[in-house]
Structures are given as structure tokens and as C-alpha cells.
Chains A and B, each alone.
Chain A
Amino acid sequence: MGALLTRDLALAVKAGGGFGLSLAFFLIVVTLVPFGVGPETGRLAEIAPGILWVGALLACLLSLDRLFQLDWEDGSLDLLAVSPLPMEGVVATKALAHWITTGLPLTLAAPVLGLLLNLPGPGYLWLLVSLALGTPALSMIGAFGAALTVGLKRGGLLLSLLVLPLYVPTLIFGAEVVRRAIDGQAFATPLAMLAGLTLATLALLPFAAAAAIRINLR
């Protein structure tokens, strides 16, 4: 598992596997929003939590179709399937590698981009916390979507159609945490829901994703 993780991380960093790409995409989305809605700082501050969450979510989506695709094409996925590591472990490891290369950098970059959108003071910490709690779920759900579409030639667009509706609950609770923190309301409930959602996703979806990969390898 460790070896697979280091291999995936090395591939992502060295082979131009989209490591910096999703960060750059995030930056561009956040830059484009003021052009769309106008530069008034008050209005930007109001929509900042939502924009940052949606931007992070879309950036996360960007690198998903490569999650299993390359391994599928060169046959290493077949090797992994016959290795002693169960497929569930492979999926979880790959989702973890995806999170380290996209979710984690996005989380760390989000407060900086929050400055661009004039995010109000209390928002920064809780934006960081909510993204840190929520992005693992995005990676895991994405891994499930990638597992479903791995055998398809042009699965990228279909992948987004399948995965984005599944992102709805995470997005709702994640953005709600930040919004409530800014308004000074109690946000323990959405935070707990977000964390629970992530934990449930991490516990259950590897099985569904592994089943999908086994079917695709048949």
C-alpha cells in the first residue's frame, strides 16, 4: 500500500499528472468570477464561500479521469488486481494519492484565494477546516466515478455527469459551515454532518468502487 502510494505520488509530481494543473484551474475560476459578477467587494464577500467551494470541487474533478485510466491502459491495473493487496485497498490508496495531490493543495490554497474574493475574517479558518474535512470525500466519490468509467474511451464528460450529483451533500454542508461561521451563527451541525459524510464515504465507497473495477477488468 505504501509502495503504491509513493508510486502514484511520484507519477503525479514528475510525469505532469496534473499536480499543479488543478491548483491553476482553481486560481483561474476564482479570478474569473469577479469578471462575471462585478468587482464590488461587498457582493464578492457574500458569495466567496460558495465560489471557493464550487471552485475547489471543479478543480478536484479535473484530474479524476486519470485516476485509473493510465493504469488501465498500460495493464498495471491488472497486475494490481492479482497482487495480494485487495482491490478495496488499491482504490483507497489511489483516492488518498489523489487527495494528497489535489485536495490538500486546494485546501491550503483556498484561504489565499479567499483574499482575492474579500472573504470576511472568521471565514478563513473554517474554510480551511471545512475543505480539509470535505475534500477527502470528493476524492473518494470521484474514485468511485472513475472506477465506473475506466473502461470507456472518452469517459471524462460522463464522469462529471455521474460524479457531480453525488457531490451535492458535501458541497451543501461544506459551504454552509463557512457561511454560518461568517454570519456568526452556530455551525457545529453542518460541520459534524460534513465529517460524518466524509467518514461514511471513506468507509463504504471503496467497496463499490472496487466492485466496479473488478467488473471492468472482467
Chain B
Amino acid sequence: MSIWEYANPVRFMRTSAVLLPWVTGLAVLALGAGLVWGFFFTPDDFRQGSTVKIIYVHVPSATMAINIWAMMLITSLIWVVRRHHVSVLAAKAAAPVGATMTAIALITGAVWGQPMWGTWWEWDPRLTAFLILFLFYLGYMALWAAIENPDTAADLTSILCLVGSVFAVISRYAINFWNQGLHQGASLSLDKEENVADVFWQPLVISLAGFFFLFLALLLVRTRTEIRARRLMALKARERLA
């Protein structure tokens, strides 16, 4: 029994069909609990007032935006090395979700920044890096959409993802060099003594889990759709030959 067995589309379809309702349920539960707790049952911050509550959407979506790209990098690498179709289809399926998460992070950040920093947009390293990450997502999806042959598209987008990841990291540090930041440091990190205060921290972790399960559910649904679309394409090709 190894993880590679799930690279078999039939196996993947069967397992994901079982998992999907559970993952969806967990997503609804965690998102509901985290957001309701965060929005209605936590105190206002003494300086930020109620705007602090945007953290329950902003931080999870930003975290997911980065990690979804990392997931796409890994699955693209698996496709390049072992040529498992499910892997690259998962990367394809994840991209629009990642782009949406990036957009949510940017928009909620702007909505929060207006009253707090007095500006919708600032050329701060984190903000700028996210904007560029958004452009990378757009480019990746546009390349998928532009190429007809599915295997060529999978290969080329994988190469783009690998090269893009390197440049995304370089850009992040180049931007750090270019401008000093207005954005506060990490809200959640494992190696820090002090994070966000506990009252805010607990619902935040729950909504973080909610966003993760939401992504997982969307990913499963979208990958299943991609696999079905691919099967349909194969059937049509066979029909044409017959």
C-alpha cells in the first residue's frame, strides 16, 4: 500500500467519493464555527475596534493562497517526474481556488487597510508580493486555457509552475529589499512566544481549519470534474476513430 496507488484515476474517484461528504461537512462546520465565534463572540480590539474581525477571513485566505501554490508546485513536480495524470489535474483544479484566495486576501486587506492605515493600497512588500502571486496564478491558468493538447498543456504549465515558483521566491526577497513594510509581522507562527491574544487566536485557528477543508472539498470536486472531462474527451476520441 503506497500513496502512489491513488494516482490511479479509478482508485482516486472511488476514494474521493467517500471522502467528499466528510470533507465538505468538516468545512461547513469549521467555517461556520470559526466565523460565527470570531465575528460575534469575541471582544473588539481596543485600538482597531471591530475591524480586527476581518482577521478571520484575511489570515486564513492568505495562508491558503501561498500553500495552494506550494501544493501546485509539488503536484506539478510529481507529474514531471512520475507522470501521474491525477497529480497534474489536481494542480490545474487548485489554481482557480488559489487565485480566488489571493484575491480574497487582497480585498479583505484593502477593506481593513482603509480605516486602519488610511489607505486602500500601499506598496508594502507583503501586499506587492501577493499581487505578483495573483499574476502568477493568472498566467498559469491562462497557459492551461490556451493549449489544446492536454498532455502538452500539462507539461508546459508544470514547467511554468516550477520556474514561476523560483521567481516568486526571488521576487519576495527582491521586494523586501525594495521597500520597507507597513504590514504587521506574522499573526501565527510556531516559533514565537507571543502571537495574537488567545481570545482571537482560538476562533482564528478554527477558521483556518475551515478554509483548509473548504479548499480540500473544492479541490476534490474540481479534480473529479477534470477527470470526468478527460474521460469524456477520450470517449469522444474513440468515437471519432470508430
Interface centre among B135, B162, B163 (most CB of A within 10 A): B163
CA distance A155 to B147 in the complex (A): 10
Closest CB-CB distance, A113 to chain B, in whole Å?
23
CA distance A151 to B178 in the complex (A): 36
> Can you give 8 A-B contacts (C-beta < 8 A)?
A148-B156, A152-B146, A161-B138, A161-B142, A162-B143, A165-B135, A168-B175, A172-B174
What chain B residues lie within 8 Å of A161 (beta carbons)? 135, 138-139, 142
CA distance A151 to B148 in the complex (A): 10
Q: Chain B interface: which of A56-64, A115-123, A210-218?
A: A210-218
B167, A212: Cβ atoms closer than 8 Å: no
B66 within 8 A of A: no
Interface centre among A165, A173, A193, A212 (most CB of B within 10 A): A165
B152, A162: Cβ atoms closer than 8 Å: no
What chain B residues lie within 8 Å of A128 (beta carbons)? none
What chain B residues lie within 8 Å of A148 (beta carbons)? 143, 156, 159-160
The total of interchain contacts (Cβ-Cβ below 8 angstroms) comes to 73
Closest CB-CB distance, B154 to chain A, in whole Å?
9
A172, B156: Cβ atoms closer than 8 Å: no
B107 within 8 A of A: no
What chain A residues lie within 8 Å of B174 (beta carbons)? 168-169, 172-173, 193
Closest CB-CB distance, B61 to chain A, in whole Å?
20
CA distance A190 to B179 in the complex (A): 13
A151, B162: Cβ atoms closer than 8 Å: no
Closest CB-CB distance, A191 to chain B, in whole Å?
12
- Extra contacts, 17 of them, besides A152-B147, A197-B170, A215-B159 (Cβ < 8 A), are A148-B143, A158-B139, A161-B138, A161-B139, A166-B164, A168-B171, A169-B170, A169-B174, A172-B171, A172-B175, A172-B177, A193-B177, A205-B163, A208-B163, A212-B155, A215-B152, A218-B152
Closest CB-CB distance, A8 to chain B, in whole Å?
24
Interface centre among A162, A189, A197 (most CB of B within 10 A): A162
Q: Residues on A close to B: CB < 8 A?
A: 144, 148-149, 151-152, 155, 158, 161-162, 164-166, 168-169, 172-173, 176, 189-190, 193, 197, 205, 208, 211-212, 215-216, 218
A176, B178: Cβ atoms closer than 8 Å: yes
B132, A165: Cβ atoms closer than 8 Å: yes
What chain A residues lie within 8 Å of B147 (beta carbons)? 151-152
B136 within 8 A of A: yes
